[in-house]
Amino acid sequence: MGLFDNLGGSLGGMLGAAAPGLISAALAKTNLGDMQGIVNQLQQGGLGTQVQSWLGNGSNLPVTPQQLQAALGDEHVRQIAEHFGVPVDQALKLLAEHLPAAVDQASSNGTVEAQ
pLDDT at 26: 82
Burial 60-91 (b: 16+ CB within 10 A, else e): beebebebbbebbeeebbebbbebbebebebb
Would 4 be classed as within a structural domain? Answer: no
Where in the sequence is the domain holding 74, given as residue range(s)?
16-107
Q: How many domains does the chain have?
A: 1
Q: Which residues contact 13 (CB under 8 A, 6 or more apart)?
A: none
pLDDT at 115: 55
Cβ contact 58:5 at 8 Å: no
Distance CA(71)–CA(105), nearest Å, equals 21
Would 2 be classed as within a structural domain? Answer: no
pLDDT at 1: 43
Q: What is the CATH number of the domain that holds 48?
A: 1.10.10.690
Distance CA(13)–CA(7), nearest Å, equals 10
Would 9 be classed as within a structural domain? Answer: no
Would 67 be classed as within a structural domain? Answer: yes
Would 50 be classed as within a structural domain? Answer: yes
Cβ contact 38:72 at 8 Å: yes
Sequential pLDDT tens for the chain (115 residues): 444 444 444 444 545 666 677 888 888 888 888 888 999 999 999 999 999 999 988 899 999 999 999 999 999 999 999 988 899 999 999 999 999 988 988 887 777 876 5
